[in-house]
Amino acid sequence: MEKYNYALDYSRIKLLRLNAKINQKTIAEYLNISIAAYSQFERMSTLITIEKLNDLANYYNVSLDYLVNISDNPNITIKNKKLDKKLIGERLKAIRKEKHLYQETLAKEIGTGHSLISEYESGKRLISLTYGYAICKKYNISMDYLYGKI
């Protein structure tokens, strides 16, 4: 199977901050990180975690799909929803089975090992933003659905 890499783009976090006329310090404090770390997220020089991206979706009252450019609709709002590893794992497993994929096949398609897919599906680990995004793009699935926000 061919490994693919979709370019993850969460540049909207900067646009949302600027449109709201909020400084980086305010957002950094909300996320409980340094201004320098937040600045790197905005420049996309450091990968943001799914937890921090979810916090920003909650802060701005927008969907994960909007933040990562899967959707252009900012009005799909899912407010203050925490990420539940167990629910996310169940959804991943259901998606995989619906697509008639083995864990090994899915793992190869997103460039990881099947043991990590197993850990995701069992709720032991939260699906990383990179792999979650790849799954959503590959199978045309909402990130908000995969991550249990809708």
Q: What is the pLDDT of residue 2?
A: 46
Domain-located, residue 25: no
Tokens read off for 32: 């409980």
**Structural domain of 105:** 85-146
Total domain count, the chain? 1
Domain-located, residue 40: no
Q: What is the pLDDT of residue 81?
A: 83
In whole angstroms, what is the distance from residue 24 CA to residue 35 CA? 6
Using alpha carbons only, give the angle 51, 108, 139 rounded to the nearest 5 degrees.
65
Domain-located, residue 109: yes
Domain harbouring 118, CATH code:
1.10.260.40
In whole angstroms, what is the distance from residue 57 CA to residue 51 CA? 10
Domain-located, residue 118: yes
In whole angstroms, what is the distance from residue 49 CA to residue 127 CA? 10
Instruction: For residue 5, give the amino acid letter.
Output: N
Distance, C-alpha 137 to centroid of its chain = 11
Helices (H), the chain: 12-19, 24-31, 35-43, 50-60, 64-67, 85-98, 103-110, 114-121, 129-139, 143-146
DSSP 62: -
Q: What is the pLDDT of residue 74?
A: 81
Domain-located, residue 66: no
Q: What is the pLDDT of residue 80?
A: 61
Per-residue pLDDT of the chain (150 residues; tens, 9 = 90+): 444 556 889 999 999 999 999 999 999 999 999 999 999 999 999 999 999 999 999 999 999 999 999 999 887 656 668 899 999 999 999 999 999 999 999 999 999 999 999 999 999 999 999 999 999 999 999 999 999 988
In whole angstroms, what is the distance from residue 116 CA to residue 127 CA? 9
Residue recorded with tokens 């979650």:
132
